[in-house]
Amino acid sequence: MQFYSTNDPDHRVGVKEAIFRGLPADNGLYMPERIDPLPDSFFRELPTLSFSEIGFRVARQLLGPEISDSDLRRIVEDAINFPAPVVALDEQKYILELFHGPSLAFKDFGARFMSRLMAYYNDDADRDLIILVATSGDTGGAVAAGFYDTPGIQVVILYPSGKVSDLQEKQLTTLGKNIHALEVSGTFDDCQAIVKRAFLDGDLRARLRLSSANSINISRLIPQTFYYFEAYKQLGEGDPVVFCVPSGNFGNLTAALIAKRLGLPIDHFIAATNDNDVVPRFLAEGQYRTRASVPTLSNAMDVGAPSNFARMTNLYGHIVGVDHPGEETHRSMREVISGYSYTDEVTEAAVKEVERNYGYTIDPHGAVGYLALKEWQKDHPATRGVILETAHPSKFKPDVERILGHEIPVPERLASLKDKEKVASQMGTAYEPVRKYLLDKFE
């Protein structure tokens, strides 16, 4: 399988280069050269397949034959060794719980798969691979847990100071060993801009082996397709299925669109955001205008320039990502995606409503999804909507407890971090100090 850049369809590389490079030199994003539907036999067998078997077959379809079946199956089984259960709120609304992995967030799927795939290809390397990742909340913890103590790989996580929860921060600043945290006095967009600039710095890349663990890396996106098939399997026969995806950098929704291209019969997608509503505005108006992100209660979605928008438009006919999407791309996307955005005030009300009506504790990101699905189903009642609950509510313990007025349980693997010492290097929003840090530490 070859992978091309969204900024240049003639630029093509193999699986290994796409994974380790992360970002093409033209600042595009890698996409598989083809996304062929899975065979009819797969969908006939789907009700009987294990989660790991689903993951193996989907990964094989997207990665091609470069990795042997036995190695790819081992990678998937080792990475995806926890469930993704679907919980019914009522006959129309369901929750897909994606927080049963080590860091209690959906990004465990991508981080664990990527770490094992990189370790597979990195086995004979003569110098360390440096993973650079920007996080708005959950990515950092998942990458830290997924890559912790992996031989031959160092991880540098950039996160915005004061804009992640205390427990999220502890997840990425307390492990030590090969995990290094940079606390940036800015926003997630500032962190992401620094990471992107590093990948476009030819001199730095000549001196260090750099790769990314953000969803700009195609190997993190691929395993995010797995749980859409798993959720569909659990729902079984019935009314059409729609997925409501709380969205920030839009990797999760992009994975859903890829799952549909692979043949999964998803009827519709709902992009749910907080006040950082760049994509819902595009869907409504046809104009894509990035802007500075604003802080909200659902902090992992505080993204004003979502990277994966280029992949989304590419899937719907937009050929060169540096140009503005045309009317046909906009029209095609509106047919399959609806966008909604919500303030913190209504998000807090939704957290209360879900507990009151269903006895379910939902996190602020899932609450945004609940609001969007509820609004969409007013006009589409004969559907089964699945809200992606992307993180355990205890990761936002102070806010959730303040909203609900009572304590919520914290899983031991998260509670144990409370008293651990934070270790992070302080950085501004400029690129050069980060560049110097990387060279001083790893060259």
Beta carbons of 158 and 191 less than 8 angstroms apart:
yes
Residue 123 or 67, more confident: 67
Q: What is the pLDDT of residue 198?
A: 94
Domains identified in the chain, total number = 1
The closest of 393, 348, 350 to 370, measured between CA atoms, is 350
Domain membership of residue 177 (yes or no) is no
Range of lowest pLDDT (120-124, 130-134, 150-154, 410-414)? 120-124
pLDDT in tens, 203-244: 999 999 998 877 788 998 999 999 999 999 999 999 999 999
- Average pLDDT on 57-73 reads 95
Q: Is residue 360 predicted with pLDDT exceeding 70?
A: yes
- Decide if 376 is inside a domain: yes
pLDDT for 196 equals 87
Domain presence at residue 424: no
Q: Each residue of 380-426: pLDDT tens digit?
A: 999 999 999 999 999 899 999 999 999 999 999 888 888 899 999 99
pLDDT band at 321 (very low <50, low <70, confident <90, very high): low
Report the pLDDT value the prediction gives residue 246, as an integer from 0 to 100.
97
DSSP states of 266-324: --EEEEEESS--HHHHHHHHS----------SSGGG--SS-TTHHHHHHHTT---TTSP
User: How far apart, in Å, are the Cα atoms of 11 and each of 6, 91, 118, 320, 382?
Assistant: 9, 47, 22, 12, 44
- In the predicted structure, residue 352 carries a pLDDT above the cut 70: yes
Mean of per-residue pLDDT scores for the chain: 93
The 10s digit of each residue's pLDDT in 172-205 is 899 999 999 999 999 988 998 999 899 889 999 9
Closest to 105 measured CA to CA, from 298, 346, 305: 298
308-328 as b/e, with b when 16 or more CB fall inside 10 Å? bbbbbbbbbebeebeeebeee
Q: Is the pLDDT of residue 339 over 80?
A: yes
pLDDT on residue 318: 82
Retrieve residue 307's tokens: 């990277």
Give, in order, the Cα–Cα distances in Å from 217 to each of 30, 203, 211, 221: 7, 21, 8, 7
- pLDDT given at position 93: 98
Residue 136: band (very low, low, confident or very high) from pLDDT cuts 50, 70, 90: confident
- For residues 95 and 317, the model is more confident at 95
Residue 145 lies in a domain: no
Q: What is the pLDDT of residue 322?
A: 63
Q: Look at residue 421 and tell me if it is in a domain.
A: no
What is the rounded average pLDDT of the residues 128-132?
92
- Is residue 216 situated within a structural domain? no
Instruction: Assess whether pLDDT exceeds 80 at residue 337.
Output: yes
pLDDT of residue 324: 80
Please tell me the predicted confidence (pLDDT) of residue 164.
87
In whole angstroms, what is the distance from residue 392 CA to residue 40 CA?
Answer: 35
In eight-state DSSP terms, residue 28 is: -
> Alpha-carbon torsion 268, 269, 272, 278, what sign?
negative
Looking at residue 215, what is its pLDDT?
72
Note whether residue 152 is domain-resident: no
Q: Is the pLDDT of residue 329 over 70?
A: yes
Residue with tokens 């790769």: 211
Give how far Cα 430 sits from Cα of 122, 304, 365, 423, Å: 31, 18, 30, 21
State yes or no: pLDDT of 250 exceeds 80.
Answer: yes
299: domain CATH number? 3.40.50.1100
The DSSP annotation for 105-170 comes to BTHHHHHHHHHHHHHHHTTT-SS-EEEEEE-SSHHHHHHHHHHTT-TTEEEEEEEETTSS-HHHHH
Among 298, 215, 210, 288, smallest CA distance to 252 is for: 215
Q: Where do runs of H (alpha helix) occur along 26-131?
A: 40-45, 51-63, 69-79, 107-121
- Asked whether residue 387 is domain-assigned, the answer is yes
Residue with the bigger pLDDT between 123 and 194: it is 194
Query: What is the mean pLDDT of the segment spanning 258-284?
Result: 97
Average pLDDT for residues 64-75, to the nearest whole number?
A: 94
Structural domain harbouring 239: 84-102+221-404
In the chain, the percentage of residues whose pLDDT exceeds 90 is 76
Q: Does 165 score more than 90 pLDDT? A: no
DSSP-derived pairing of the beta strands 153-160 and 3-5: unpaired
